[in-house]
Amino acid sequence: MLLTSRYILYPDDDSQEISHSLKINQLVNVNGIPITLPLKTLKTIVYRVWRISTKEERHEESIFYHLELLNRYEMMDLI
């Protein structure tokens, strides 16, 4: 039996476990929940999944979703 764990990795090297899968270039909020567009305000913290890596050990697989923070100018196109 293989146990799979998923984590989001923030740019400041902090991490959080999540229960769902993400895709490359998917936009998520601070908790790793996918965001629906258009955004209602620029005051939202938005991350983009830029890389996915996997670490496999005995009976355990860890999937890491690396996030990058979008700046204000990148978010202007999402409103």
pLDDT tens by residue, 3-31? 999 999 999 999 999 999 999 999 999 99
Provide the 10 A C-beta neighbour count for residue 29.
12
Structural domain boundaries in the chain: 3-76
Query: pTM to 2 decimals?
Result: 0.91
Q: What is the pLDDT of residues 19-75, one digit of tens each?
A: 999 999 999 999 999 998 898 888 889 999 999 999 999 899 999 999 999 998 888
d(CA 62, CA 77): 33
Q: Is the Cβ–Cβ distance between 50 and 67 less than 8 Å? A: yes
